[in-house]
């Protein structure tokens, strides 16, 4: 077994590999860019070495620096994680040639299966059904349009070396094929250093189901069941689960055996994933093979009780697989939510900056520990006070739960999301909560178009209907009563002006139309930790010992456990309480009846008109300004392109107009809401 390994990656996957290496008694070497010098993986590793500047093409993608670091530190093996150089055939071969072990498949397997074009050809030769497409590299956007017409729209334009949703577009017409090809090529070049792009038929209403395979150097290959990854937004997986609520045991076996046959054909040694598109009639087609560890591997670890990173390391060291196909378990149901640094209410634009508060829900399962299951696990590469840089992908953490069955897992995930505190940047937690509550998700009736169909026009606060809105009002009143209880006990208060408790209050909430809604409430204290709150004739008995000032509140309401978040002074009104539960958020002012009467007389201040400006919706690099001063533009016309978190974001005109002054220049780093241009 290796004594020391280098992890050629960052973030949560680097931390994940370190956890297993520590369990196995293996020393670890971390590498980092200048943007990551304070990162969690750097602190966890036994050694850490600076690679270079923040952009990945100058640090994490520089194979020479990584190899030199491994040799200088005496590492015997390199684990590439996922992304970056994990599916780079030349890098894997170089590691092997330098006398080190590559903790992943052999370079010839990556060459055959990691390259999407080569893998399609190989699958065809192996008589595996593949989707119609053009499997050779395409010379330019004009050829892309001709090929797309020949296949028939819609088509999927995809980077050959792609992964993680980068370098991928779906085109429904010639214009989208032309523009999509250029964007895919740019993203592929920036993310993977390989700008080859291919095109295939886009199968409508598909399910994305993948099989986890594991092979060793002795010719053994097994499959570890499937993962359902159909909940995707713009081809980025959002929720993954194992097993799939859709496929039958017969289909699972057929897909698994086909995945194993494909892996054996290329002498596959390590963990890998064979992805399939599955039709409504359970017909399935080979899509691609990811020759690396997947982001969503924890759900497979939960249902099988296996540590996939440990098995990868053992296989790379020449050991045989410790189990046969018949010994692979499928126990319970696991779900993973990707917690991303993006604002779901601003069209999921990236959100970067400092994590002012980062508090995960209480964990009962842990990386590299397969003894403790049926609970909650968080895989992350960040810490409280850490920075989310603009140079890498947007994932903050992966939240994983393991339940007895699917309904149990969904309930556990909803409660865990309620307890996940992230402040300083926006996260997609409200969106995840909405998905988990959607009747079609709960019933298992969905496909890869689920998010586009249900949230095609964007995601809005009203997309997260709360099953009991009065609960949020009551919780605000309960917490306010606790604050007033503490205030009334402070000594030295001026006579006649001390904090009074009282039982009658009015909770003022801003509704969807921007109007204030008044809720008369009565709060009766039963003991120091328990109060009864009445709202609109409905009674709520709360009991909680949560520390005042803590954002997360856990307790009982009418005898049932709940987790929610309540904080003061964080919204538009510094006196209001912000209450969050099951993805729904309200800002509530808890006032005395007299104060509520006076509050009704307060004038309404209208927000300023910003329609004459194009504002940067996120921090990022201004890659292009597509218009000139004096130019007439129509709604839907391209105005500018901003690059952030490895993705190009095109800004379009929302209405017709004439461009006036251009305030930002190409190549400038923009802040949120910085003016890019003005309209006349």
- 146 flagged as catalytic: no
* Cα–Cα distance, 528 to 548 (Å, whole number): 13
Q: In the 8-state DSSP scheme, what is residue 176?
A: H
398 vs 339: CA distance, rounded Å: 6
The DSSP call for residue 384 is T
Instruction: State how far Cα 462 lies from the chain centre.
Output: 22
User: How far is the C-alpha of 556 from the C-alpha of 532, rounded, in Å?
Assistant: 12
Nearest in space to 651 (alpha carbons), one of 610, 623, 679: 623
What are the angstrom distances between the C-alpha of 379 and each of 15, 225, 236, 356, 439? 8, 22, 18, 19, 28
Cis ω before 243 (30° cut-off from 0): yes
d(CA 481, CA 503): 9
Q: How far apart are CA 618 and CA 470, in angstroms?
A: 34
Cα separation of 289 and 259, whole Å?
Answer: 9
> Contact 633/580 with Cβ under 8 angstroms?
no
- Between 429-437 and 406-418, two packed helices, what is the crossing angle to 10 degrees? 150
String of DSSP letters for 292-319: S--TTHHHHHHHH---HHHHHHHHHTTP
Nearest to 332 by CA among 304, 293, 307: 304
Catalytic residue among 240, 241, 288, 648: 288
CB atoms within 10 A of CB 167: 28
> Which residue is associated with the tokens 């009766």?
524
Give the list of residues 6+ apart from residue 194 with CB closer than 8 angstroms, or none: 159, 160, 161, 188
Q: How far is CA 291 from CA 103, 133, 176, 190, 508, in A?
A: 11, 22, 30, 20, 55
Partnered with residue 364 across adjacent β-strands are none
Please list the active-site residues: 288
């Amino acid at each position: 077994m290796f004594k020391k390994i280098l992890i050629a990656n960052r973030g949560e996957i680097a931390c994940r590999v370190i956890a297993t290496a520590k369990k196995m008694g293996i020393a670890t070497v971390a590498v980092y860019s200048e943007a990551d010098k304070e990162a969690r993986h750097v602190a966890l590793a036994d050694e850490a070495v600076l690679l270079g500047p923040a952009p990945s093409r100058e640090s994490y993608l520089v194979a020479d620096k990584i190899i030199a670091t491994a040799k200088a530190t005496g590492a015997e093996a390199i684990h590439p994680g996922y992304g970056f150089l994990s599916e780079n055939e030349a890098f894997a071969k170089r590691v092997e040639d330098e006398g080190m072990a590559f903790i992943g498949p052999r370079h010839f397997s990556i060459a055959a299966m990691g390259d999407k074009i080569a893998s399609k050809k190989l699958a065809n030769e192996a008589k595996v059904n593949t989707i119609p497409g053009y499997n050779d590299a395409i010379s330019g956007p004009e050829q892309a349009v001709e090929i797309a017409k020949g296949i028939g729209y819609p088509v999927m334009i995809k980077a050959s070396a792609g992964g993680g949703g980068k370098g991928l577009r779906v085109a429904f017409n010639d214009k989208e094929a032309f523009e999509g090809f250029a964007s895919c090529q740019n993203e592929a070049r920036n993310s993977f250093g390989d700008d080859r792009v291919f095109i295939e038929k886009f199968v409508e209403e598909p399910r994305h189901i993948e099989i986890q395979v594991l092979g060793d150097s002795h010719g053994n290959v097994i499959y570890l069941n499937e993962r359902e990854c159909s909940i995707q937004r713009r081809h980025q997986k959002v929720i993954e689960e194992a097993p799939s609520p859709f496929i039958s045991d017969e289909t699972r076996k057929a897909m698994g055996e086909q995945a194993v046959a494909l892996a054996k054909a290329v002498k596959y040694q390590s963990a890998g994933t064979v992805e399939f598109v599955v039709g409504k009639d359970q017909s399935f087609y080979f899509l691609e093979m990811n020759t690396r560890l997947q982001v969503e591997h924890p759900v497979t670890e939960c249902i099988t009780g296996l540590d996939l990173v440990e098995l990868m390391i053992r296989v790379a060291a020449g050991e045989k697989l410790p189990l046969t196909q018949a010994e692979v378990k499928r126990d319970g149901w696991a779900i993973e939510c990707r917690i991303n640094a993006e604002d779901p209410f601003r069209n999921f634009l990236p959100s970067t900056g400092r994590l002012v508060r980062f508090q995960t829900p209480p964990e009962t399962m842990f990386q590299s520990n397969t003894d403790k299951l049926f609970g909650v696990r968080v895989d992350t590469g960040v810490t409280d006070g850490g920075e989310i840089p603009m140079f890498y992908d947007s994932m903050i953490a992966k939240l994983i739960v393991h339940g007895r069955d699917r309904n149990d897992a969904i309930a556990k995930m909803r409660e865990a999301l309620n307890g996940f505190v992230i402040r300083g940047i926006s996260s997609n937690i409200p969106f995840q909560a909405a998905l988990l509550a959607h009747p079609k998700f709960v019933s298992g009736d969905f496909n890869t178009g689920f998010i586009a169909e249900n949230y095609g026009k964007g995601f809005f606060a009203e997309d997260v209907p709360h099953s009991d809105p009065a609960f949020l009002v009551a919780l605000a009143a309960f917490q306010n009563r606790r604050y007033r209880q503490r205030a009334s006990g402070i000594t030295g208060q001026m006579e006649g002006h001390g904090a009074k408790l009282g039982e009658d209050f009015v909770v003022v909430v801003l509704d969807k139309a921007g109007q204030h809604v008044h809720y008369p409430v009565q709060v009766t204290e039963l003991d120091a930790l328990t109060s009864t709150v009445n709202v609109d004739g409905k009674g709520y008995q709360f009991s909680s010992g949560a520390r005042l000032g803590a954002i997360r509140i856990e307790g009982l309401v009418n005898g049932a456990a709940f987790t929610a978040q309540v904080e003061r002074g964080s919204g538009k009104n510094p006196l209001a309480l912000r209450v969050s539960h099951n993805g729904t958020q309200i800002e509530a002012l808890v006032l005395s009846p007299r104060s509520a009467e006076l509050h009704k007389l307060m004038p309404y201040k209208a927000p300023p008109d910003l329609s004459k400006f194009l504002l940067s919706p996120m921090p990022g690099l201004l890659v292009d300004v597509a218009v000139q001063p004096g130019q007439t533009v129509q709604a839907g016309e391209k105005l500018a392109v901003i690059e952030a978190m490895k993705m190009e974001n095109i800004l379009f005109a929302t209405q017709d107009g004439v461009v006036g002054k251009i305030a930002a220049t190409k190549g400038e780093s923009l802040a949120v809401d910085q003016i890019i241009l003005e309209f006349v």
